[in-house]
Every structure is written in structure tokens, then in C-alpha cells.
Amino acid sequence: MSESDHSGVRGANSQEATSVASGFMGIIEELEVEVPMRDGVILRGNLWRPDAPGSFPALLVRTPYGKAAAGHERYVRAGYAVMVQDTRGRYASDGEFVLFSEDETPDGRDGYDTIEWLAEQPWCDGKVGTFGASYGGWMQWEAAALAPPSLKAMVAYTIPTELTGVDWWGSFRPGRRIKWWLTTMAPDLRRRAGMSPPHTVAEARTIFEETELSLWLGLLPYQDLPRHMPEPLATYARNWLADPARPRWRFAEKHATITVPNLDFSGYFDHCNGSIDHLPGMQANAATALAREQSKLILGPYNHGGFGTRKFGDIDFGPAAQFDITDIIIRWFDHWLKGLDNGVDREPPLRYLVMGSGQWKSAETWPPPGAEPAEYFLHSDGQANPVSACGSLSRELPCDEPGDAYTFDPRDPTPTLWTVGLFTLPSDRRKLEYRDDILYYCTEPLTEEVEIAGHPQVVLYASSSAPDTDFFARLVDEDPEGIALEICYGMVRARHRNSWEQEELIEPGEAVEYRIELGATACRFQKGHRIRLEICSADFPNHDRNHNTGGDDLAEMEMQPADQTVHHSAAWPSRIILPRYND
């Protein structure tokens, strides 16, 4: 791992073209520009380009969320033509929509055709880049896998390498997924089908957040959800719920077909931070040396939509966390599309912010090499709740110690700490210290700083009265004079403890070993802070509740409480393994 880098991260109706003069360069705006696909389907996009002589590189954004009616002015001012296009079957574009949960979609071919169409326009110099987040990032990977010759670079960010990385360890994530289906994907499909409103995202979100949120999050069974959706979304959702753990995207295989470099942004608190896996995947398997050596990742304390933001609610990560993502993207394309020698190619593959330090560091890949695994063992006298009577974490092996028990009732699950937006966020765990279904294990106040980077792992020995249940592990930076900041978490569904594909129920009352990999993090625990590990059995509605019956949690309504026991003894040494960088 490198030394600290204090420099941080640098930064719909008319088809007639209209010229808008502003600043030193005017902008030509063309709305509903028609682009024919190879099968004759017409896709429509809005186009902005410099009102100046000559030709320019083109940038493409493809989205199923409704193309922008304005914006991207900074890219045009920087000398790019920018098209934002409705994807097939969405908003103004023709054709039938196919959701990305299906094994085969036309989006790769549509992206290829649009890239090559842009390159052939008289105002384009033949070089094209793509950018966009989340679903828009997925669109880019699909197109890049077909190697369009005019594509020179992309900025596909915050999209996991596999859909199952979103629905973690075989669990369904109802909060984010239900809202996305009903408020983001369904409205335009309802409009196109002539169904009753809501027909816009704004209308649907108002209804969901202000009137129906508790109705939808409490709906059971989840397999009934498609009955409330328009087609073809209903069919896609039904297929998804039939097997949420089945891999669909297979980007780890598609990396071998990618010829251009990618710039990715990801966040420790992003529900899509499986995007991190693109960097090592591209470094190992991309089709060209350029793509292998020049793909980059910028990683920090961000959620799905907050890249470059320093503050989330009351949690402030400091001035180092703040950056201008647009400036960074323009600089990326200035090098790869314009050939400017601005140093982009000499920057490290990975730059990441270490929480608690305010410092950016660099490494050759993720996770940063050189970590020494440090084991911290769980201890208690049989009581690890409330937090004022918590168990302990230490480097000493446990002896014969009684286990710690709690009851997990899926009808009263440990709640997720987030807002009505239903996006994962950094959270202050003190808000849940009133509950009796969370176990706490803490170090003594630290006498020296402890820095970690990578994926902590929890080895948990636990028993349950149920044939199937869940265990969640959370790593927390506890500031005695401030918040208890969740650093990362992971979970395991007992039936999937050994694999995604195979289900193995547990024997009630039997101690079972669970290995729980926590999410990506980088943190420096300061002197005087405590390292805290929390164990519980729910995170609802971020994850669906395990019904504790051993049945199909997506298809049934029956629920039953489970008596859980966490063991820590010489025979069952439960522990957390931290990827530590200093002693």
C-alpha cells in the first residue's frame, strides 16, 4: 500500500436544431434525434453539441429512466457532443423493453449501433466515449462487450459485476427493489399500455413515499408483487423472484471481450458496490493491454448517488471526501478521446479514501495488497446486551465462556437505518441501542491507531432454534465523544452458508460455523475509539426477513421467532478478522 496521498481526487417534442449562445461557445440543441437500429427499431435521444466549426468527440448516455431534457452543458463547453438516449421500449424510443434481469437483451447491440451512428456524423471526429451510473453503467458494459470500433473509453460506474451482488447471499432486498419496480420502472410502462396513473416517476414516488410505503414493504408473500405490476415488468419480476440468486449478467466472463479502459466510482455504503470487482476483473482478463492496465477505480465513503459528497445527514467525512465528479470524468475523456497529456494514464489504478483519517491512498488493485489479518475474538460472561454491558473483543483466545442469547422475531425485525428514499446510507448505530435483539462486542479504548482496508471477515459459531435463519455482522467505529459509525456489514442466510446454488438447512440447537465476508471498507480507528462488532438477525427492509421456518420466504406468510445463541469458547472461537495495516 502506498504512502498517503494528500492531493486527493482531482478533479421532447421538436426535432429541429436550435442554437443557444452562451459564454464563449454556443450550444446546438437537437431534441428527439432518431437513431435506427439494425433491426429497424428507432431509438430517440437528445443531443447537445458545440456551435462551433470543426468536429468533436461524442459522449453517449443510454438510460431506461427517461432522457434528460437539458443539461450536460459542462461536457459541451469542454468540447464534446453529448447524446442522452431513451433505451428500447422506454419513453420516446420504439420497440419492446426488456429488463436487465433477463439473460438476453438487445441493449448491447443497441449501444453498439448508437456508438457507430454517432461516429459517422459530420460533427463527430469518429471517437466516442460512454458514461453513466447504475443501469446506465450496465448498458455500457453490454455494448463494450461487443467491441464497437469507435468506442475509445467509458465511465461505467456503480454497477456490480453480477445481479446477485445486489440481492446479497440469496436474500431479497425488498426496500430498494420494490420501490424501484413500482416508482422507477412501472410508470412509463403503465403510460405506454394505456393504464391508469401514475405515469411519471415523480407521481409514483409521491404516492409510494407519502401514502403507500408501509403497505408495500409489509406485503406478503413477495411472489404476489408481480400481480401489481404492468407487463412486461410483471413477468420479469416473477422470473427474478423465482430464483433471485441465479447469475444473469456474467460480466466476469465478458471482461475478456472488453478492449477499452473504464473509470469506475464506488462507495463503501453503496448497495451496488459489487462494482469494485470490475477493477481486478479487468486487470486480469480484459482483451487488450490498454484495458487491463488503464482501468481505474475511485472508492470512498459514498452511497449510490453521493459520489464526491462529504456529508450524509449528520455524518460528515470531511473536506477530503468532496470532489467534482464531472470534472474527473471530463479529464478522463480529455485524455482518451482528445489525446491530452494530462496525466490520467500515469495515475494509480486505485485511489481510496480512508475513513477516520481524511487521507486518500493509492494501490495497484482492490483490495490493497499487504494487509496482515488481525483476529479479534469475542468474549463475554453470557451477556452482550445492552451496549453498556457489552461483550469484549480482544486478541486473546476465548476459554470456556457461556454463549450470548437473543430472540429474533421476524414480525419485529431489527430495522434498517435509512430514509424514505430507501437507499443505503452511512448510519449512526446508537439509534438502535434500545433494542434487545443486537449483541455488542467492543475492544477497550484503543491506545494506538488501527487502520484497515479490504473486506473484514467474521467467523461466527451460532446455534438457532430454527431450521433456517439469518445472521448479520456489523463493524462499527465507536467514538466515545461522537457517533457509532457503521463501517461495513455482511450477512449469511443459514441455508446458503456453503453456496448460492445449494440449500442446506441447519439442525435446530446445533452450533454451526458461518463465515461472513463484510463489505468493502477502509478506516483508521483513532486512539480512544472502540472497535465494535454487532451481531443480529435482521436488517429490514434492506433485506427480507428470514421467516425461520425453513420454507420459501418469498412464497409463504408464516413466520416464527427463533432463539439465537452466539458461542465463543475454545471449541467455538467466534472472531472478526480485520485486514490491518499497522500494529
- Specify if 12 maps to a domain: no
Q: Kindly report the average pLDDT of the chain as a whole number.
A: 93
Average confidence (pLDDT) over 38-53:
96
Query: What is the predicted pLDDT for the residue at 20?
Result: 41
Last residue of a domain, one of 363, 392, 419: 363
Q: What is the pLDDT of residues 108-156, one digit of tens each?
A: 999 999 999 999 999 999 999 999 999 999 999 999 999 999 999 999 9
Length of the chain: 583
Q: Does residue 59 sit in the same domain as residue 77?
A: yes
Rounded percentage of the chain residues whose pLDDT exceeds 70: 94
Indicate whether 19 pLDDT > 90: no
Please report, rounded to a whole number, the percentage of residues in the chain having pLDDT higher than 90. 86
Element (H, E) at 281: helix 278-285
Instruction: Please determine, for residue 22, whether its predicted confidence score (pLDDT) is greater than 80.
Output: no
Does residue 166 lie within any of the structural domains?
no
For 326-336, write each residue's pLDDT tens digit.
Answer: 999 999 999 99
Domain of residue 131 covers 17-160+256-363
Confidence check: pLDDT of 13 > 60:
no
Q: Inform me whether the pLDDT recorded for 305 exceeds 90.
A: no
247 lies in some domain: no
pLDDT confidence of residue 81: 97
On whether both 495 and 412 belong to a single domain, the answer is: yes
Output the pLDDT for position 516. Answer: 96
Instruction: Provide the CATH number for the domain around residue 475.
Output: 2.60.120.260
Q: Is 524 part of a structural domain of the chain?
A: yes
Report whether pLDDT(170) > 80: no
Name the grid cell of 130: 460512454
Q: What is the pLDDT of residue 171?
A: 72
Phi, psi (rounded to 5 degrees) for 70: -160, 170
Q: What is the DSSP letter of 511?
A: -
**Exposed/middle/buried for residue 6 (C-beta within 10 Å: 0-12, 13-18, 19+):** exposed
Query: Which residue type sits at 152?
Result: K
Residue predicted with more confidence, 171 or 523: 523
Quick one: pLDDT band at residue 69, thresholds 50, 70, 90? Answer: confident
Torsions phi, psi for 38 (to 5 deg):
-65, -25
Helix (H) or strand (E) holding 203: helix 201-207
Same domain, 237 and 347: no
Gap between the terminal Cα atoms of the chain = 15
Q: How far apart are CA 583 and CA 577, in angstroms?
A: 14
On whether both 420 and 569 belong to a single domain, the answer is yes
Q: Inform me whether the pLDDT recorded for 39 exceeds 70.
A: yes
Are residues 178 and 269 located together in one domain of the fold? no
Task: Give the number of other Cβ atoms within 10 Å of residue 257's Cβ.
Answer: 15
Judgement on whether residues 402 and 520 belong to the same structural domain of the protein: yes
pLDDT-based confidence at residue 56 (cuts at 50, 70, 90): very high
Instruction: List Cβ neighbours of 419 (8 Å cut-off, separation of 6 or more).
Output: 313, 425
Residue 289: all three cell numbers together: 493491454
One domain, residues 388 and 532: yes
Question: The whole model's pTM is what?
Answer: 0.93
CA dihedral 12, 235, 544, 456 (to 10 degrees): -70
**What is the b/e burial string over 360-384, where b = at least 16 CB atoms within 10 angstroms of the residue's CB?**
bbbbeebbbeebeebbbbbbbeeeb
Question: Known catalytic residues?
Answer: 134, 270, 304
26 and 116 both lie in a single domain: yes
Lookup: cell for 460 = 461466527
pLDDT at 190 over 80: yes
pLDDT of residue 191: 96
Please report, for the domain that includes residue 314, its CATH number.
3.40.50.1820
Which of 335, 363, 391 terminates a domain? The answer is 363
- The pLDDT tens digits of the residues spanning 347-366 come to 999 999 999 999 999 999 99
Q: In the structure, what pLDDT confidence band is assigned to residue 9 with cuts at 50, 70 and 90? A: low
The domain tally of the chain equals 3
Location of C-alpha cell 447491440: 109
Number of Cβ within a 10 Å radius of residue 253 = 13
Do residues 231 and 287 share a domain?
no
Q: Does 101 lie in the same domain as 66? A: yes
Residue 2 has pLDDT above 50, yes or no: no
Interval 396-434: pLDDT, tens: 999 989 999 999 999 999 999 998 888 889 999 999 999
Let me know whether 135 and 179 are in one domain. no
Residue 290 has pLDDT above 60, yes or no: yes
3-class secondary-structure state, position 134? coil
Phi first, then psi: give them for residue 150, nearest 5 degrees. -90, -5
| pLDDT beyond 60 at 44 | yes
**DSSP conformation letters of 161-190:** SSGGGTSGGG---HHHHHHIIIIIIHHHHH
User: Most distant CA pair in the chain: distance in Å?
Assistant: 80
Cβ count within 10 A of residue 444? 10
Taking the C-alpha atoms of residue 296 and residue 138, their distance in angstroms, rounded to an integer, is 17
Domain boundary among 320, 339, 363: 363
Query: Is residue 191 one of the residues assigned to a domain?
Result: yes
Q: Evaluate whether residue 531 is within a structural domain.
A: yes
The band of 165, judged by pLDDT with boundaries at 50, 70 and 90, is low
Please state the three-class secondary structure of 53-117 as a single string: CCCEEEEEEEECCCCCCCCCHHHHHCCCEEEEEECCCCCCCCCCCCCCCCCCCCHHHHHHHHHHH
